[in-house]
Protein backbone atom coordinates (compact mmCIF):
# COMPACT_ATOMS: atom_id res chain seq x y z
CA UNK A 1 0.00 0.00 0.00
CA UNK A 2 2.83 2.41 0.79
CA UNK A 3 4.18 2.17 -2.74
CA UNK A 4 0.80 3.11 -4.19
CA UNK A 5 0.15 6.10 -1.99
CA UNK A 6 3.70 7.44 -2.33
CA UNK A 7 3.75 7.25 -6.12
CA UNK A 8 0.43 9.02 -6.34
CA UNK A 9 1.37 11.80 -3.95
CA UNK A 10 4.53 12.49 -5.99
CA UNK A 11 2.44 12.55 -9.17
CA UNK A 12 -0.04 14.95 -7.67
CA UNK A 13 2.74 17.20 -6.41
CA UNK A 14 4.27 17.43 -9.88
CA UNK A 15 1.02 18.00 -11.73
CA UNK A 16 -0.61 20.30 -9.16
CA UNK A 17 -3.67 21.88 -10.75
CA UNK A 18 -2.14 22.40 -14.19
CA UNK A 19 -3.85 19.52 -15.91
CA UNK A 20 -7.14 20.44 -14.28
CA UNK A 21 -7.07 24.10 -15.29
CA UNK A 22 -6.05 23.30 -18.86
CA UNK A 23 -8.50 20.43 -19.26
CA UNK A 24 -5.79 17.79 -19.78
CA UNK A 25 -7.88 15.34 -17.82
CA UNK A 26 -10.45 12.61 -18.27
CA UNK A 27 -13.46 11.97 -16.07
CA UNK A 28 -14.90 8.50 -15.49
CA UNK A 29 -18.12 7.80 -13.61
CA UNK A 30 -19.35 4.29 -12.88
CA UNK A 31 -22.74 3.26 -11.51
CA UNK A 32 -22.02 0.26 -9.29
CA UNK A 33 -24.64 -1.71 -7.41
CA UNK A 34 -24.04 0.13 -4.11
CA UNK A 35 -21.90 3.14 -5.07
CA UNK A 36 -21.63 5.70 -7.85
CA UNK A 37 -17.96 6.62 -8.16
CA UNK A 38 -16.32 9.46 -10.09
CA UNK A 39 -12.58 9.54 -10.85
CA UNK A 40 -10.64 12.37 -12.49
CA UNK A 41 -7.30 11.38 -14.05
CA UNK A 42 -4.46 13.56 -15.27
CA UNK A 43 -2.29 13.45 -18.37
CA UNK A 44 -0.26 10.61 -16.77
CA UNK A 45 -3.49 8.57 -16.36
CA UNK A 46 -3.17 8.55 -12.57
CA UNK A 47 -6.13 9.54 -10.38
CA UNK A 48 -6.11 13.19 -9.32
CA UNK A 49 -9.35 13.17 -7.34
CA UNK A 50 -12.43 11.06 -6.75
CA UNK A 51 -15.96 11.41 -5.43
CA UNK A 52 -18.73 8.96 -4.63
CA UNK A 53 -22.34 8.55 -3.59
CA UNK A 54 -23.87 5.51 -1.91
CA UNK A 55 -27.14 4.14 -3.24
CA UNK A 56 -29.16 0.95 -2.96
CA UNK A 57 -31.54 -0.90 -5.22
CA UNK A 58 -35.15 -1.27 -4.14
CA UNK A 59 -37.40 -4.31 -4.30
CA UNK A 60 -40.74 -3.01 -5.51
CA UNK A 61 -43.64 -5.07 -6.88
CA UNK A 62 -41.40 -8.09 -7.34
CA UNK A 63 -38.71 -6.15 -9.22
CA UNK A 64 -35.22 -5.03 -8.21
CA UNK A 65 -34.97 -1.45 -9.40
CA UNK A 66 -33.52 2.04 -9.01
CA UNK A 67 -35.67 5.13 -9.65
CA UNK A 68 -34.62 7.67 -12.26
CA UNK A 69 -34.54 10.30 -9.50
CA UNK A 70 -31.98 8.13 -7.69
CA UNK A 71 -29.89 7.96 -10.87
CA UNK A 72 -29.68 11.74 -11.27
CA UNK A 73 -29.38 12.56 -7.58
CA UNK A 74 -26.56 10.01 -7.25
CA UNK A 75 -24.76 11.23 -10.36
CA UNK A 76 -24.92 14.86 -9.24
CA UNK A 77 -23.77 14.04 -5.72
CA UNK A 78 -20.79 11.98 -6.90
CA UNK A 79 -19.76 14.77 -9.29
CA UNK A 80 -20.24 17.41 -6.58
CA UNK A 81 -18.11 15.34 -4.20
CA UNK A 82 -15.39 15.07 -6.86
CA UNK A 83 -15.54 18.81 -7.58
CA UNK A 84 -15.19 19.63 -3.90
CA UNK A 85 -12.18 17.33 -3.63
CA UNK A 86 -10.57 19.11 -6.60
CA UNK A 87 -11.14 22.46 -4.90
CA UNK A 88 -9.86 21.24 -1.53
CA UNK A 89 -6.71 19.63 -2.94
CA UNK A 90 -5.79 21.94 -5.82
CA UNK A 91 -7.66 25.21 -5.25
CA UNK A 92 -9.19 24.92 -8.73
CA UNK A 93 -12.88 25.10 -9.65
CA UNK A 94 -13.67 22.28 -12.06
CA UNK A 95 -15.06 23.88 -15.24
CA UNK A 96 -14.00 21.53 -18.00
CA UNK A 97 -12.32 18.19 -18.62
CA UNK A 98 -10.74 16.68 -21.70
CA UNK A 99 -13.23 13.84 -22.08
CA UNK A 100 -15.92 12.00 -20.10
CA UNK A 101 -17.00 8.37 -19.94
CA UNK A 102 -19.87 6.60 -18.20
CA UNK A 103 -20.04 3.00 -17.09
CA UNK A 104 -22.63 0.96 -15.26
CA UNK A 105 -23.88 -2.41 -14.18
CA UNK A 106 -24.36 -4.38 -17.37
CA UNK A 107 -27.61 -5.81 -18.71
CA UNK A 108 -31.02 -4.96 -17.31
CA UNK A 109 -33.96 -3.30 -19.04
CA UNK A 110 -34.76 0.36 -19.66
CA UNK A 111 -37.47 0.86 -22.29
CA UNK A 112 -38.58 4.31 -23.51
CA UNK A 113 -41.30 5.64 -25.82
CA UNK A 114 -40.80 8.17 -28.59
CA UNK A 115 -41.09 11.07 -26.15
CA UNK A 116 -38.36 9.70 -23.88
CA UNK A 117 -40.71 8.45 -21.16
CA UNK A 118 -39.70 5.34 -19.20
CA UNK A 119 -42.36 2.72 -19.98
CA UNK A 120 -41.70 0.30 -17.10
CA UNK A 121 -39.59 0.46 -13.93
CA UNK A 122 -35.88 -0.08 -14.58
CA UNK A 123 -35.24 -3.82 -14.24
CA UNK A 124 -31.67 -4.43 -13.07
CA UNK A 125 -29.34 -7.36 -13.76
CA UNK A 126 -30.29 -8.78 -10.37
CA UNK A 127 -33.80 -9.82 -11.46
CA UNK A 128 -34.30 -13.52 -12.18
CA UNK A 129 -37.77 -13.28 -13.71
CA UNK A 130 -36.78 -14.10 -17.29
CA UNK A 131 -36.16 -17.85 -17.11
CA UNK A 132 -38.62 -18.77 -19.86
CA UNK A 133 -37.28 -16.12 -22.24
CA UNK A 134 -33.62 -16.93 -21.55
CA UNK A 135 -34.18 -20.65 -22.17
CA UNK A 136 -36.10 -20.09 -25.42
CA UNK A 137 -33.60 -17.57 -26.77
CA UNK A 138 -30.64 -19.77 -25.88
CA UNK A 139 -32.24 -22.58 -27.88
CA UNK A 140 -33.21 -20.28 -30.77
CA UNK A 141 -29.81 -18.59 -31.07
CA UNK A 142 -27.68 -21.57 -30.03
CA UNK A 143 -25.91 -19.00 -27.92
CA UNK A 144 -26.06 -18.74 -24.15
CA UNK A 145 -28.49 -15.97 -23.12
CA UNK A 146 -28.38 -15.48 -19.32
CA UNK A 147 -31.47 -14.21 -17.51
CA UNK A 148 -29.85 -10.84 -16.76
CA UNK A 149 -29.31 -9.91 -20.43
CA UNK A 150 -31.43 -7.09 -21.85
CA UNK A 151 -32.79 -9.19 -24.70
CA UNK A 152 -34.05 -11.75 -22.18
CA UNK A 153 -35.91 -9.01 -20.30
CA UNK A 154 -37.42 -7.70 -23.54
CA UNK A 155 -38.52 -11.13 -24.75
CA UNK A 156 -40.00 -12.00 -21.35
CA UNK A 157 -42.04 -8.79 -21.46
CA UNK A 158 -43.28 -9.83 -24.91
CA UNK A 159 -44.13 -13.35 -23.70
CA UNK A 160 -45.93 -11.84 -20.71
CA UNK A 161 -48.05 -9.73 -23.02
CA UNK A 162 -47.01 -6.51 -21.27
CA UNK A 163 -48.89 -3.63 -22.87
CA UNK A 164 -45.94 -1.22 -22.93
CA UNK A 165 -43.97 -3.34 -25.41
CA UNK A 166 -45.81 -1.93 -28.43
CA UNK A 167 -44.80 1.60 -27.45
CA UNK A 168 -41.03 0.95 -27.25
CA UNK A 169 -38.96 3.36 -29.29
CA UNK A 170 -35.61 2.87 -27.53
CA UNK A 171 -34.19 0.08 -25.38
CA UNK A 172 -30.96 0.67 -23.46
CA UNK A 173 -28.93 0.05 -20.30
CA UNK A 174 -28.23 2.29 -17.32
CA UNK A 175 -24.94 3.61 -18.76
CA UNK A 176 -26.58 4.03 -22.15
CA UNK A 177 -29.46 5.97 -20.62
CA UNK A 178 -27.21 8.45 -18.79
CA UNK A 179 -25.07 8.91 -21.91
CA UNK A 180 -28.16 9.52 -24.05
CA UNK A 181 -29.57 12.15 -21.71
CA UNK A 182 -26.24 14.01 -21.55
CA UNK A 183 -25.43 13.91 -25.28
CA UNK A 184 -28.62 13.09 -27.17
CA UNK A 185 -26.81 10.11 -28.73
CA UNK A 186 -28.30 6.61 -28.42
CA UNK A 187 -25.17 4.48 -28.34
CA UNK A 188 -23.36 1.78 -26.37
CA UNK A 189 -19.78 0.62 -26.27
CA UNK A 190 -19.45 -2.80 -27.85
CA UNK A 191 -18.59 -4.44 -24.53
CA UNK A 192 -21.77 -3.06 -22.95
CA UNK A 193 -23.77 -3.97 -26.06
CA UNK A 194 -22.54 -7.57 -25.76
CA UNK A 195 -24.69 -7.89 -22.63
CA UNK A 196 -27.73 -6.58 -24.48
CA UNK A 197 -27.66 -8.87 -27.53
CA UNK A 198 -25.05 -11.23 -29.05
CA UNK A 199 -22.28 -9.41 -30.91
CA UNK A 200 -20.60 -10.46 -34.16
CA UNK A 201 -16.93 -9.68 -33.47
CA UNK A 202 -16.22 -9.61 -37.20
CA UNK A 203 -18.44 -6.55 -37.63
CA UNK A 204 -18.42 -5.16 -34.05
CA UNK A 205 -22.20 -4.94 -34.28
CA UNK A 206 -25.23 -6.94 -33.17
CA UNK A 207 -25.32 -10.38 -34.80
CA UNK A 208 -27.46 -9.80 -37.89
CA UNK A 209 -28.53 -13.43 -38.32
CA UNK A 210 -29.76 -13.65 -34.74
CA UNK A 211 -31.55 -10.29 -35.10
CA UNK A 212 -33.48 -11.84 -38.01
CA UNK A 213 -34.25 -14.96 -35.96
CA UNK A 214 -35.64 -12.81 -33.17
CA UNK A 215 -37.75 -10.64 -35.49
CA UNK A 216 -39.18 -13.78 -37.13
CA UNK A 217 -40.72 -15.10 -33.91
CA UNK A 218 -44.54 -14.88 -34.30
CA UNK A 219 -45.04 -12.89 -31.09
CA UNK A 220 -42.33 -10.42 -32.22
CA UNK A 221 -43.36 -10.15 -35.87
CA UNK A 222 -46.72 -8.65 -34.94
CA UNK A 223 -45.12 -5.72 -33.08
CA UNK A 224 -44.85 -2.28 -34.75
CA UNK A 225 -41.04 -2.24 -34.57
CA UNK A 226 -38.04 -4.35 -35.58
CA UNK A 227 -35.37 -5.08 -32.97
CA UNK A 228 -32.62 -3.23 -34.85
CA UNK A 229 -34.80 -0.09 -34.78
CA UNK A 230 -34.96 0.13 -30.98
CA UNK A 231 -31.42 -0.90 -30.00
CA UNK A 232 -28.66 1.72 -29.49
CA UNK A 233 -25.85 2.07 -32.01
CA UNK A 234 -22.72 0.03 -31.23
CA UNK A 235 -19.37 1.83 -30.98
CA UNK A 236 -15.89 0.51 -30.29
CA UNK A 237 -13.38 2.01 -27.85
CA UNK A 238 -11.71 5.07 -29.34
CA UNK A 239 -14.71 6.16 -31.38
CA UNK A 240 -16.38 9.48 -30.65
CA UNK A 241 -19.76 9.15 -28.97
CA UNK A 242 -21.11 12.70 -28.91
CA UNK A 243 -20.59 15.93 -26.98
CA UNK A 244 -21.91 17.06 -23.62
CA UNK A 245 -24.97 19.22 -24.37
CA UNK A 246 -25.96 22.35 -22.48
CA UNK A 247 -28.81 20.39 -20.91
CA UNK A 248 -26.41 17.53 -20.12
CA UNK A 249 -23.92 19.87 -18.45
CA UNK A 250 -26.66 21.16 -16.12
CA UNK A 251 -27.84 17.61 -15.38
CA UNK A 252 -24.32 16.61 -14.38
CA UNK A 253 -23.42 19.87 -12.62
CA UNK A 254 -26.48 21.78 -11.35
CA UNK A 255 -24.11 24.39 -9.89
CA UNK A 256 -23.56 25.57 -13.46
CA UNK A 257 -19.74 25.58 -13.67
CA UNK A 258 -19.18 22.67 -16.07
CA UNK A 259 -18.95 23.74 -19.70
CA UNK A 260 -20.81 22.04 -22.54
CA UNK A 261 -19.08 20.64 -25.63
CA UNK A 262 -16.89 18.07 -23.83
CA UNK A 263 -16.45 14.87 -25.92
CA UNK A 264 -17.72 11.58 -24.50
CA UNK A 265 -16.43 8.08 -25.17
CA UNK A 266 -18.87 5.20 -25.74
CA UNK A 267 -20.60 4.12 -22.49
CA UNK A 268 -19.27 0.78 -21.27
CA UNK A 269 -20.29 -1.96 -18.87
CA UNK A 270 -18.54 -2.89 -15.67
CA UNK A 271 -17.04 -6.02 -17.25
CA UNK A 272 -15.29 -3.95 -19.91
CA UNK A 273 -14.04 -1.30 -17.50
CA UNK A 274 -12.72 -4.06 -15.24
CA UNK A 275 -10.72 -5.47 -18.17
CA UNK A 276 -9.27 -2.02 -18.90
CA UNK A 277 -8.42 -1.33 -15.25
CA UNK A 278 -6.50 -4.61 -15.08
CA UNK A 279 -4.84 -4.34 -18.52
CA UNK A 280 -6.62 -7.50 -19.65
CA UNK A 281 -7.94 -6.57 -23.11
CA UNK A 282 -5.43 -8.36 -25.35
CA UNK A 283 -5.93 -11.84 -26.75
CA UNK A 284 -4.58 -14.64 -24.53
CA UNK A 285 -4.96 -12.45 -21.41
CA UNK A 286 -7.56 -12.59 -18.69
CA UNK A 287 -8.51 -11.41 -15.26
CA UNK A 288 -10.08 -13.16 -12.34
CA UNK A 289 -11.97 -11.40 -9.57
CA UNK A 290 -12.20 -13.49 -6.41
CA UNK A 291 -14.07 -12.46 -3.29
CA UNK A 292 -17.63 -13.25 -2.23
CA UNK A 293 -18.11 -14.69 -5.72
CA UNK A 294 -15.48 -15.43 -8.34
CA UNK A 295 -15.44 -14.87 -12.07
CA UNK A 296 -12.81 -15.21 -14.76
CA UNK A 297 -12.82 -13.38 -18.10
CA UNK A 298 -10.58 -14.73 -20.85
CA UNK A 299 -9.99 -12.80 -24.10
CA UNK A 300 -10.24 -15.36 -26.90
CA UNK A 301 -8.37 -15.61 -30.17
CA UNK A 302 -11.56 -16.92 -31.81
CA UNK A 303 -15.15 -17.63 -30.90
CA UNK A 304 -16.02 -20.88 -29.11
CA UNK A 305 -17.02 -23.79 -31.30
CA UNK A 306 -20.43 -24.31 -29.72
CA UNK A 307 -22.85 -23.27 -27.00
CA UNK A 308 -21.92 -23.92 -23.37
CA UNK A 309 -24.53 -23.01 -20.72
CA UNK A 310 -21.71 -22.62 -18.18
CA UNK A 311 -20.00 -19.85 -20.16
CA UNK A 312 -21.20 -16.32 -20.94
CA UNK A 313 -19.87 -14.72 -24.11
CA UNK A 314 -19.22 -10.97 -24.00
CA UNK A 315 -16.58 -8.76 -25.63
CA UNK A 316 -13.78 -6.38 -24.78
CA UNK A 317 -14.40 -2.65 -25.37
CA UNK A 318 -12.87 -3.17 -28.82
CA UNK A 319 -15.08 -6.13 -29.71
CA UNK A 320 -12.80 -9.09 -29.10
CA UNK A 321 -14.72 -12.17 -27.89
CA UNK A 322 -14.46 -12.83 -24.15
CA UNK A 323 -15.47 -16.00 -22.34
CA UNK A 324 -16.71 -15.39 -18.80
CA UNK A 325 -17.03 -18.12 -16.18
CA UNK A 326 -18.88 -17.00 -13.06
CA UNK A 327 -19.26 -18.92 -9.80
CA UNK A 328 -21.69 -17.65 -7.17
CA UNK A 329 -19.53 -18.90 -4.29
CA UNK A 330 -15.92 -18.18 -3.40
CA UNK A 331 -14.67 -17.06 0.03
CA UNK A 332 -17.87 -16.68 2.10
CA UNK A 333 -17.75 -20.17 3.63
CA UNK A 334 -14.00 -19.89 4.24
CA UNK A 335 -14.59 -16.53 5.95
CA UNK A 336 -17.09 -18.23 8.27
CA UNK A 337 -14.49 -20.83 9.26
CA UNK A 338 -11.94 -18.10 10.01
CA UNK A 339 -14.59 -16.34 12.13
CA UNK A 340 -15.07 -19.61 14.04
CA UNK A 341 -11.31 -19.81 14.71
CA UNK A 342 -11.41 -16.19 15.88
CA UNK A 343 -14.23 -17.03 18.28
CA UNK A 344 -12.19 -19.97 19.60
CA UNK A 345 -9.17 -17.72 20.19
CA UNK A 346 -11.32 -15.24 22.10
CA UNK A 347 -12.74 -18.07 24.23
CA UNK A 348 -9.14 -18.88 25.23
CA UNK A 349 -8.61 -15.26 26.16
CA UNK A 350 -6.24 -14.66 23.25
CA UNK A 351 -6.61 -11.38 21.40
CA UNK A 352 -5.71 -11.68 17.74
CA UNK A 353 -6.41 -9.22 14.94
CA UNK A 354 -8.73 -10.76 12.35
CA UNK A 355 -6.52 -9.65 9.47
CA UNK A 356 -3.53 -11.30 11.13
CA UNK A 357 -5.58 -14.45 11.70
CA UNK A 358 -6.53 -14.57 8.02
CA UNK A 359 -2.91 -14.16 7.00
CA UNK A 360 -1.69 -16.87 9.39
CA UNK A 361 -4.35 -19.37 8.36
CA UNK A 362 -3.86 -18.70 4.65
CA UNK A 363 -0.11 -19.17 5.07
CA UNK A 364 -0.78 -22.52 6.76
CA UNK A 365 -2.36 -23.74 3.52
CA UNK A 366 1.06 -23.64 1.82
CA UNK A 367 2.34 -26.21 4.35
CA UNK A 368 -0.33 -28.80 3.59
CA UNK A 369 -0.21 -31.88 1.39
CA UNK A 370 -0.37 -31.06 -2.30
CA UNK A 371 -3.91 -32.46 -2.66
CA UNK A 372 -5.19 -31.24 0.71
CA UNK A 373 -4.66 -34.57 2.44
CA UNK A 374 -7.72 -36.30 1.04
CA UNK A 375 -10.14 -33.78 2.59
CA UNK A 376 -13.15 -32.46 0.70
CA UNK A 377 -15.28 -29.30 1.04
CA UNK A 378 -18.09 -27.56 -0.79
CA UNK A 379 -18.43 -23.82 -0.18
CA UNK A 380 -21.99 -23.44 -1.48
CA UNK A 381 -23.69 -20.85 0.70
CA UNK A 382 -25.96 -20.19 -2.27
CA UNK A 383 -26.93 -22.22 -5.30
CA UNK A 384 -24.26 -22.92 -7.90
CA UNK A 385 -25.28 -23.07 -11.56
CA UNK A 386 -21.91 -24.43 -12.68
CA UNK A 387 -22.63 -27.68 -10.81
CA UNK A 388 -26.43 -27.48 -11.19
CA UNK A 389 -27.17 -26.94 -7.50
CA UNK A 390 -30.23 -24.74 -7.02
CA UNK A 391 -29.48 -24.13 -3.33
CA UNK A 392 -26.42 -24.00 -1.11
CA UNK A 393 -25.36 -26.46 1.59
CA UNK A 394 -21.76 -25.90 2.77
CA UNK A 395 -20.12 -29.23 3.51
CA UNK A 396 -16.84 -30.56 4.90
CA UNK A 397 -16.17 -34.27 4.34
CA UNK A 398 -13.30 -36.65 5.18
CA UNK A 399 -12.57 -40.34 5.35
CA UNK A 400 -10.79 -42.12 8.24
CA UNK A 401 -7.67 -42.19 6.05
CA UNK A 402 -7.69 -38.44 5.34
CA UNK A 403 -4.83 -36.43 6.86
CA UNK A 404 -6.85 -34.07 9.05
CA UNK A 405 -4.46 -31.21 9.86
CA UNK A 406 -4.96 -27.47 10.03
CA UNK A 407 -2.74 -26.97 6.99
CA UNK A 408 -4.73 -29.49 4.94
CA UNK A 409 -8.01 -28.05 6.22
CA UNK A 410 -7.10 -24.55 5.04
CA UNK A 411 -5.66 -25.77 1.75
CA UNK A 412 -8.83 -27.75 1.04
CA UNK A 413 -11.07 -24.76 1.68
CA UNK A 414 -8.96 -22.54 -0.57
CA UNK A 415 -9.14 -25.23 -3.25
CA UNK A 416 -12.92 -25.50 -2.73
CA UNK A 417 -13.28 -21.74 -3.25
CA UNK A 418 -12.21 -22.32 -6.86
CA UNK A 419 -13.82 -25.73 -7.44
CA UNK A 420 -16.92 -24.65 -9.36
CA UNK A 421 -14.93 -22.04 -11.31
CA UNK A 422 -12.48 -24.74 -12.35
CA UNK A 423 -15.27 -26.85 -13.84
CA UNK A 424 -16.21 -23.95 -16.12
CA UNK A 425 -12.59 -23.19 -16.97
CA UNK A 426 -11.98 -26.83 -17.89
CA UNK A 427 -14.44 -26.37 -20.75
CA UNK A 428 -12.28 -23.57 -22.11
CA UNK A 429 -8.90 -25.17 -21.53
CA UNK A 430 -9.66 -28.85 -22.14
CA UNK A 431 -12.51 -28.88 -24.65
CA UNK A 432 -11.92 -25.62 -26.52
CA UNK A 433 -8.11 -25.66 -26.16
CA UNK A 434 -8.05 -21.98 -25.24
CA UNK A 435 -4.52 -20.67 -24.78
CA UNK A 436 -3.73 -18.01 -22.20
CA UNK A 437 -0.39 -16.49 -21.24
CA UNK A 438 -1.21 -14.71 -17.99
CA UNK A 439 -4.08 -13.92 -15.66
CA UNK A 440 -4.36 -10.84 -13.47
CA UNK A 441 -5.95 -11.46 -10.10
CA UNK A 442 -7.82 -9.01 -7.91
CA UNK A 443 -10.14 -9.24 -4.91
CA UNK A 444 -9.97 -10.41 -1.30
CA UNK A 445 -8.77 -13.90 -2.23
CA UNK A 446 -5.40 -12.34 -3.11
CA UNK A 447 -5.02 -10.11 -0.06
CA UNK A 448 -2.56 -12.39 1.74
CA UNK A 449 0.69 -12.19 -0.24
CA UNK A 450 1.43 -15.19 -2.50
CA UNK A 451 -1.13 -17.63 -1.07
CA UNK A 452 -4.15 -16.82 -3.24
CA UNK A 453 -1.89 -16.42 -6.27
CA UNK A 454 -0.29 -19.84 -5.79
CA UNK A 455 -3.67 -21.52 -5.36
CA UNK A 456 -5.15 -19.72 -8.39
CA UNK A 457 -2.08 -20.52 -10.49
CA UNK A 458 -2.50 -24.17 -9.56
CA UNK A 459 -6.20 -24.12 -10.45
CA UNK A 460 -5.70 -22.40 -13.83
CA UNK A 461 -2.20 -23.76 -14.58
CA UNK A 462 -1.16 -20.30 -15.78
CA UNK A 463 0.92 -17.49 -14.22
CA UNK A 464 -1.12 -15.16 -12.00
CA UNK A 465 -0.14 -11.51 -11.49
CA UNK A 466 -1.38 -9.07 -8.86
CA UNK A 467 -0.72 -5.43 -9.73
CA UNK A 468 -0.68 -2.38 -7.50
CA UNK A 469 -3.48 -0.66 -9.43
CA UNK A 470 -5.78 -3.71 -9.57
CA UNK A 471 -8.02 -2.19 -6.93
CA UNK A 472 -8.63 1.14 -8.69
CA UNK A 473 -11.90 -0.11 -10.15
CA UNK A 474 -14.20 0.54 -13.05
CA UNK A 475 -14.46 4.33 -12.67
CA UNK A 476 -10.74 4.50 -13.40
CA UNK A 477 -11.26 2.04 -16.26
CA UNK A 478 -13.87 4.21 -18.00
CA UNK A 479 -11.71 7.30 -17.41
CA UNK A 480 -8.90 5.46 -19.22
CA UNK A 481 -11.26 4.73 -22.12
CA UNK A 482 -12.13 8.43 -22.28
CA UNK A 483 -8.42 9.30 -22.34
CA UNK A 484 -7.81 6.67 -25.05
CA UNK A 485 -10.44 8.29 -27.28
CA UNK A 486 -8.78 11.68 -26.70
CA UNK A 487 -5.08 10.85 -26.95
CA UNK A 488 -4.55 7.68 -28.97
CA UNK A 489 -2.38 7.77 -32.03
CA UNK A 490 -4.00 6.96 -35.37
CA UNK A 491 -4.86 3.24 -35.51
CA UNK A 492 -3.28 2.66 -32.08
CA UNK A 493 -4.95 -0.44 -30.56
CA UNK A 494 -6.33 -0.17 -27.04
CA UNK A 495 -4.05 -2.92 -25.76
CA UNK A 496 -0.97 -1.08 -27.08
CA UNK A 497 -2.14 2.21 -25.55
CA UNK A 498 -2.69 0.61 -22.14
CA UNK A 499 0.62 -1.28 -22.16
CA UNK A 500 2.80 1.60 -23.33
CA UNK A 501 1.09 4.67 -21.84
CA UNK A 502 -0.82 3.49 -18.76
CA UNK A 503 0.77 0.37 -17.33
CA UNK A 504 4.37 0.83 -18.50
CA UNK A 505 6.59 0.43 -15.45
CA UNK A 506 3.68 -0.84 -13.37
CA UNK A 507 5.03 -3.07 -10.65
CA UNK A 508 3.33 -6.31 -9.82
CA UNK A 509 4.03 -9.76 -8.49
CA UNK A 510 3.74 -12.74 -10.82
CA UNK A 511 3.66 -16.33 -9.59
CA UNK A 512 3.97 -19.21 -12.04
CA UNK A 513 2.16 -22.49 -11.38
CA UNK A 514 4.14 -24.99 -9.30
CA UNK A 515 3.90 -28.50 -10.86
CA UNK A 516 3.38 -29.98 -7.37
CA UNK A 517 0.47 -27.62 -6.72
CA UNK A 518 -1.04 -28.24 -10.16
CA UNK A 519 -0.98 -32.00 -9.62
CA UNK A 520 -2.38 -31.62 -6.12
CA UNK A 521 -5.24 -29.40 -7.28
CA UNK A 522 -5.99 -31.88 -10.06
CA UNK A 523 -6.27 -34.72 -7.52
CA UNK A 524 -8.54 -32.55 -5.36
CA UNK A 525 -10.79 -31.78 -8.33
CA UNK A 526 -11.22 -35.49 -9.11
CA UNK A 527 -12.42 -35.95 -5.53
CA UNK A 528 -14.57 -32.81 -5.83
CA UNK A 529 -16.39 -34.08 -8.92
CA UNK A 530 -16.92 -37.55 -7.45
CA UNK A 531 -18.35 -36.04 -4.27
CA UNK A 532 -20.91 -33.79 -5.96
CA UNK A 533 -23.46 -36.53 -5.31
CA UNK A 534 -23.00 -35.78 -1.59
CA UNK A 535 -23.77 -32.11 -2.16
CA UNK A 536 -26.77 -33.07 -4.28
CA UNK A 537 -28.10 -35.24 -1.45
CA UNK A 538 -27.62 -32.42 1.06
CA UNK A 539 -29.55 -29.98 -1.12
CA UNK A 540 -32.38 -32.50 -1.53
CA UNK A 541 -32.49 -33.69 2.08
CA UNK A 542 -31.91 -30.48 4.06
CA UNK A 543 -34.72 -28.11 3.18
CA UNK A 544 -34.63 -24.45 4.18
CA UNK A 545 -37.16 -23.30 6.77
Using CA atoms, how far apart are residues 351 and 391, in angstroms rounded to an integer? 36
104 forms beta bridges with: 31, 269
Helix 354-365 to helix 451-460 angle (10° resolution) is 40
What pTM did the predictor assign? 0.84
Distance CA(205)–CA(342), nearest Å, equals: 53
Measured CA to CA, the distance from residue 327 to residue 527 in angstroms comes to 19
Instruction: Give the C-alpha separation, 296 to 275, whole Å.
Output: 11
**368 membership: H or E segment, kind and range:** none
Alpha-carbon distance of 195 to 151, in angstroms, equals 8
| Residues composing the chain | 545
How many Å apart are CA 530 and CA 545, to the nearest integer?
Answer: 29
Map residue 149 onto helix, strand or coil.
Answer: coil
Instruction: Show pLDDT as tens, one digit a residue, over the chain (545 residues).
Output: 332 333 333 344 444 578 898 889 999 999 988 899 999 999 999 999 999 999 989 989 988 999 999 999 999 999 999 999 999 999 999 999 999 999 999 999 999 999 999 999 999 988 888 989 999 999 999 999 988 899 999 999 999 999 999 999 999 999 999 999 999 999 999 999 999 999 999 999 999 999 999 999 999 999 999 999 999 999 999 999 999 999 999 999 999 999 999 999 999 998 899 899 989 999 999 999 888 888 899 999 988 889 998 899 999 999 999 999 988 899 999 999 999 999 999 999 999 998 899 999 999 999 999 999 999 999 998 888 899 898 889 999 999 999 999 999 999 999 999 999 999 999 999 999 999 988 998 888 998 989 999 999 999 999 999 987 655 678 999 999 999 999 999 999 999 999 999 998 877 899 999 999 999 999 999 999 999 999 999 999 998 76
CA 414 to CA 292: how far, in whole Å?
13
**What are the backbone angles phi and psi of residue 279, rounded to the nearest 5°?**
55, 50
Domains and CATH numbers, the chain: 279-468+516-545 (3.30.420.40)
> Mind listing the pLDDT tens digit for each residue in 107-123?
999 999 999 999 999 99
Between the alpha carbon of residue 258 and those of residues 244, 413, 491, the distances in Å are: 10, 51, 31
Phi then psi for 205, rounded to 5 degrees? -145, 170
411-275-436 Cα angle (round to 5):
60
* β-strand pairing of 110-112 with 26-31: unpaired
- The contacts of residue 353 (CB under 8 Å, 6+ apart) are none
Query: What whole-number distance in Å separates Cα of residue 487 and Cα of residue 498?
Result: 12
Amino acid sequence: MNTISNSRSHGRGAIHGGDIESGKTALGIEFGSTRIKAVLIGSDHQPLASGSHAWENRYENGIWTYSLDDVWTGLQESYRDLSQTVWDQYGVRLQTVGAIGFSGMMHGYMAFDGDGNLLAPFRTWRNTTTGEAAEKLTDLFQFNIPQRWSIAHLYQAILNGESHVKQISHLTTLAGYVHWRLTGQKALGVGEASGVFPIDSRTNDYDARRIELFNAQPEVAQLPWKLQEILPDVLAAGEAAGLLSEEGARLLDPDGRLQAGIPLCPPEGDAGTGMVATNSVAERTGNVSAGTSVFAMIVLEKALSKLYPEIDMVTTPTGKPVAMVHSNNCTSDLNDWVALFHEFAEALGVEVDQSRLFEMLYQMALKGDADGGGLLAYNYLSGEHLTHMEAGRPLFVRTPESRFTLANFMRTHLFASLGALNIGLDILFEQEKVQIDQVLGHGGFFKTPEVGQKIMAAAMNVPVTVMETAGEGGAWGIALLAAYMLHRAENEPLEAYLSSKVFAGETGVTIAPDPRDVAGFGAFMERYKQGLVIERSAVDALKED
